[in-house]
Structure 1
Amino acid sequence: MKVAIYTKYGSPEVIQIIDTKIPSPKPNEILVKIKASSVTRADTMMRQGKPKFGRLFLGLFKPKNTALGTGFSGVVEAVGSQITKFKIGDSVFGEKLFSNGSNAEYLCIAENVVIENKPRNISHIEAAPICDGFLTSYNFLKDIADLKPGQHILINGASGSLGSAAVQLAKVMGAKVTAVCSTRNIDFVKSIGADKIIDYTKTSITNINEMYNVIYDSVGTLSYKDTKNLISSNGIFMTPVLSGQILCQTLFNPKKVKFAATGIKKTEELKRLFLELVDFFKQGKLYTNIDKSYKLPDIAEAHHYLETGRKVGNIVIVNP
């Protein structure tokens, strides 16, 4: 089978497509033939080895884990002897963390992690990125912010994978949403439910005369220092994008500034959030926007496009 890997940090050109043996599932695993997989900003940052202090965990001089991709959707091709939930031919989707990546033709995954039968009302392409944008943002809105009906949230980067997921989720949770995006993405962000739009190309967020219960910076371009006058007395600033500045602000003001790496939550906590998302999708309350799709041999091109910052929603890799 073909799989995308990177053995050193750098530009998208460090990505290689290699041939390797199709894995055999362990007794508690299923083998999935991948129909679609995600490409995210987190993938590009790990490939670049940024921020550099992150290499203490990723690998100081070269990556410890050479795999790419986490989110996937596909069809069960084989099952281990202990499998009870899934059967051959089932359409499934989920997330594979900290091991063999999803930017491949096949993967093996345990039955008891973040994986579920794909809702019939969404395609493999729509399902593949759910655990990246939606799962991360749902963790922030529900578990970190404890967002309540009627509260006001500002979402920065509202047209991206995390941001567009957050806009929809905040509306499902009953919040009032102010979304920050560029001029060309205003219509899209309105279409997914934003109550108010701030065009950052015309208006500086620091000049806004409004208070928010939550500021969710999904792209890492703001800071608590710049926005603290916009946050209510019991409000918080939160972001999934780690930087030296955010790390310091989190350490010195932990009640107001929140950073979290969703992928390191306990499996049972991730599954709880994931299964709630599955129900939302089954009910048609959430929508995955796909900006572009690429074939696996063209994954470097996908990384290049993601780094332009022009992505609207999600990018996926599609296998035949």
Structure 2
Amino acid sequence: MQAIRVHCYGGIEALLLENVPRPVPAEDDLLVRVHVAGVNPLDWHYLHGKPYVMRLSSGVGRPQDPRAGVDFAGTVEAVGSAVKDFKPGDRVFGAANGAFAEYVVVRASRTVVHMPENIDFEQAAAVPIAAITALQALRDAGQLQPGQKVLINGASGGVGTFAVQIAKAMGAEVTGVSSARNTELVRSLGADHTIDYAQEDFTRGGPRYDLVIDNVGNHPVAALRDALQPEGTLVMVTGPKNNPWFGPLGRMLATRLTASFASQTQVTLFASANKDDLAVLGEMLEAGTVRPVIDRRFPLDQVPQAIEFLEQGRTRGKSLITMGGHLSARPAGQTGTE
């Protein structure tokens, strides 16, 4: 099969399209033929090996695991002898190392579930990491309650587009912060209010919120607290990338250290992909409560270009990797299917 491999840390030139043996599922595994894979900031971090502290687990000098990509949607090709809940031909989506490939192996008990009948592979592949992060930021870290006011900084990105929709489904009054070109998109996802960050700084005066979800990391923690109600909650999903050693982790750790000195609750989110939350999101997709925003599509041999586009920080929703031929990247800003 063809697959993207990374044998050394570096730029997009380290992403190599190789012919490799097709993986063989163990007794608890599924072999999935990948139709579409999703692109995430996580892929960028593993490619560059940054922040450097992550190399303690991923490999100090070079990646221990050369596989690339995580989000996938596809068809079950084969199952191990102990697998009971899946069979060949089932449409599934989930998260597993090595999704930038024609086939991927995933343990049946891990992050993989059946696809709802009313969504396609592109929609499904856009969901796992970004939507699970949004769900856990709002429900678990933020403890969001109906009627509360929530601000989502970075509302037009992968996590942000899902966070706007999930917050509305949970009964919140939602304000989305984005660039002017994405204001209409954020509003179409259900935001009650929108802020153009180039025209207005939400941390300086203005309304105060019960919950702030920060997907960008472009404001000091003290400024973000100024946008909160006295008993509000700040959830840090990311942070600045200009620290090569600790990256956003440094700011997240500082947030934890200062949390005891603030009246508000400050939470650093390290999202965890899991089967149960993916199933919840599958139900939301089936009900139409959430709809993925799809920006661009790239064929497998253009994974480097997809990561390069991600690095620019202007992706609206999610970009995808398609396995069905060598298609050119399509125009930005499309939602759902065409």
Length-normalised TM-score, structure 2? 0.89
Q: Which residue of 2 aligns with 1:15?
A: 15
Q: Which residue of 1 aligns with 2:335?
A: none
Indicate yes or no: 2:305 matched with 1:278. Answer: no
Aligned residue identity for 2:300:
L
Shift of 1:110: 1.3
Q: Which residue of 2 aligns with 1:56?
A: 56
The 1:195/1:231 distance shift into structure 2, 3 A limit, reads same
Indicate yes or no: 2:9 matched with 1:33. Answer: no
Q: Which residue of 2 aligns with 1:203?
A: 200
Residues 275-314 of structure 1 mapped to structure 2, 5 A cutoff: 275-314=279-318
Deviations 1:216-260 (A, max 9, x none): 011232332221111112212112223312212213316732112
Q: Distance in 1 between matches of 2:217 and 2:51?
A: 12
Aligned residue identity for 2:307:
H
Indicate yes or no: 2:158 matched with 1:152. Answer: no
User: Structure 2: which 5+ runs fail to align?
Assistant: 239-247, 325-338
Q: Distance in 2 between matches of 1:192 and 1:215?
A: 18
Shift of 1:74: 0.2
Q: Which residue of 2 aligns with 1:243?
A: 249
Match of residue 173, structure 2, among 163, 176, 184: 176
Shift of 1:101: 1.5
Q: Distance in 2 between matches of 1:64 and 1:214?
A: 38
Shift of 1:56: 2.8
Shift of 1:77: 0.7
Deviations 1:50-69 (A, max 9, x none): 22333333333322232211
User: What is the SS of the residue equivalent to 1:148?
Assistant: coil
Shift of 1:25: 1.0
Question: Which deviates further from its counterpart, 24-33 or 247-256?
Answer: 247-256
Aligned residue identity for 2:31:
L
Match of residue 266, structure 2, among 250, 257, 260: 257
Length-normalised TM-score, structure 1? 0.93
Q: Distance in 2 between matches of 1:221 and 1:6?
A: 30
Identity %: 33
The 1:106/1:28 distance shift into structure 2, 3 A limit, reads same
User: Structure 1: which 5+ runs fail to align?
Assistant: none
Residues 60-209 of structure 1 mapped to structure 2, 5 A cutoff: 60-96=60-96, 100-209=97-206
Task: Kindly indicate whether the alpha-carbon contact (under 8 Å) linking 2:39 and 2:319 is maintained by their aligned counterparts in 1.
Answer: yes
Deviations 1:96-152 (A, max 9, x none): 1xxx41111101111111111111111101101211211111011111111000011
The 1:257/1:66 distance shift into structure 2, 3 A limit, reads farther
Q: Distance in 2 between matches of 1:63 and 1:21?
A: 19
Aligned residue identity for 2:237:
P
